[in-house]
């Protein structure tokens, strides 16, 4: 299994990456990056893309149709990026330019557009801005067709729901967003242990977070699976034990998972591997096994 990390928006040089690998006790195969559409101007992306695509590691690029900074109270309230507007062709010029820029690199890029669509917290979620799961599939194919027209054959398409649907209703079922194996290359899942860091949170094991979603996506698709985002808080339980469990159950309960990317920043919670010495030591121990 390959290990990945999200820790930075800009590329670390090889010396910094080597230092990080030494600290975490494992080779890092995948670097995760996020890019918002923002003002939909490719000129704003080119310098950043040049740096990211010069990396010697595999690149996982999450592509997000919204404008940042978003309202922290209602980040999903951006109707300009509704499915209907994307389908209408409003952003086709930008999509074409981005596709062309990625195609020029000629290297394999794992592209993850519109992730966590079965939630409620982004403008592209199926429950936001009068969107629907059926329209999500149309948008997915619309974007993918433009990339094909621009010759971006170096793209590997990563379909990435959240491990559980919010709200958990029949109209927002994870399976409703599945575009089909013929238009994806990998299936991905995101999931976090928020512990008791929020009013609504509770301590959850890695298995309890991911197992149901994993069973659903592996019943829908024969494609390889990747955990594209995960992390654990220190609040409400033992993060070190949580990490130990994660490394233990991944090869035994999640056999189709080929890679795991840790969300290694202090954001809503302190998700970092180095949030405590116990957490770091547990990660080093797990990542140093032969399986990884």
The predicted-structure confidence for 152-169, as pLDDT tens digits, reads as follows: 999 999 999 999 999 999
DSSP letter (8 states) at residue 162: B
Q: Provide the β-strand partners of residue 62.
A: 34, 112
Q: Is the pLDDT of residue 283 over 90?
A: yes
| Best CATH choice for the domain 2-287 from the list 3.20.20.80, 2.40.128.20, 3.30.300.30, 1.25.40.10 | 3.20.20.80
CB of 120 closer than 8 Å to CB of 76: yes
Q: What is the pLDDT of residue 201?
A: 87
Which residue's structure tokens are 């398409």? Answer: 157
CA 211/CA 286 separation, integer angstroms: 20
Task: Give the alpha-carbon dihedral of 48, 8, 178, 127, to 10 degrees.
Answer: -100
Split at pLDDT 50, 70, 90, the class of 9 is low
CB of 264 closer than 8 Å to CB of 6: yes
Identify the H or E element spanning 102. helix 92-105
CA 202/CA 155 separation, integer angstroms: 38
Q: What is the pLDDT of residue 13?
A: 79
CB of 70 closer than 8 Å to CB of 78: yes
Q: What is the pLDDT of residue 290?
A: 60
> pTM for this structure?
0.96
* CA-angle at 242, arms to 241 and 248, nearest 5°: 90
The predicted-structure confidence for 226-277, as pLDDT tens digits, reads as follows: 999 999 999 999 999 999 999 999 999 999 999 999 999 999 999 999 999 9
Split at pLDDT 50, 70, 90, the class of 14 is confident
Q: What is the pLDDT of residue 10?
A: 63
pLDDT average, residue stretch 42-53: 94
Domain locations in the chain? Answer: 2-287
Q: Is the pLDDT of residue 207 over 70?
A: yes
Split at pLDDT 50, 70, 90, the class of 289 is confident
Q: Please state which of the ranges 48-52, 99-103, 129-133, 281-285 shows the lowest mean pLDDT.
A: 48-52
CB of 236 closer than 8 Å to CB of 203: yes
């Amino acid at each position: 299994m390959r290990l990945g990390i999200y820790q930075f928006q800009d590329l670390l040089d090889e010396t910094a990456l080597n230092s990080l690998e030494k600290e975490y006790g494992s080779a890092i195969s995948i670097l995760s990056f996020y890019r918002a559409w923002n003002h939909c101007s490719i000129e704003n992306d080119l310098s950043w893309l040049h740096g990211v695509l010069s990396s010697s590691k595999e690149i996982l690029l999450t592509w997000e149709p919204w404008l940042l900074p978003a309202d922290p109270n209602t980040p999903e309230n951006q109707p300009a990026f509704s499915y209907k507007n994307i389908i209408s062709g409003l952003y086709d010029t930008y999509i074409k330019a981005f596709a062309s820029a990625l195609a020029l690199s000629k290297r394999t890029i794992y592209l993850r557009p519109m992730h966590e669509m079965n939630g409620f917290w982004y403008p592209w979620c199926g429950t936001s801005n009068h969107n629907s799961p059926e329209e999500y599939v149309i948008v997915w194919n619309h974007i993918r067709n433009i990339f094909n027209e621009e010759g971006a054959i170096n793209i590997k398409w990563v379909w990435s729901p959240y491990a559980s649907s919010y709200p958990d209703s029949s109209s927002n079922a994870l399976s409703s967003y599945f575009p089909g194996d013929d238009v994806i290359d990998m299936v991905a899942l995101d999931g976090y242990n928020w512990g008791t860091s929020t009013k609504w949170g509770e301590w959850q094991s890695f298995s309890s977070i991911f197992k149901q979603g994993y069973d659903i996506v592996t019943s829908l698709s024969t494609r390889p699976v990747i955990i594209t985002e995960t992390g654990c808080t220190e609040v409400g339980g033992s993060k070190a034990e949580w990490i130990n469990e994660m490394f233990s159950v991944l090869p035994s309960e999640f056999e189709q998972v080929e890679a795991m990317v840790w969300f290694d920043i202090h954001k809503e919670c302190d998700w970092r591997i180095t949030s405590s010495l116990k957490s770091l030591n547990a990660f080093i121990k797990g990542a140093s096994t032969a399986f990884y």
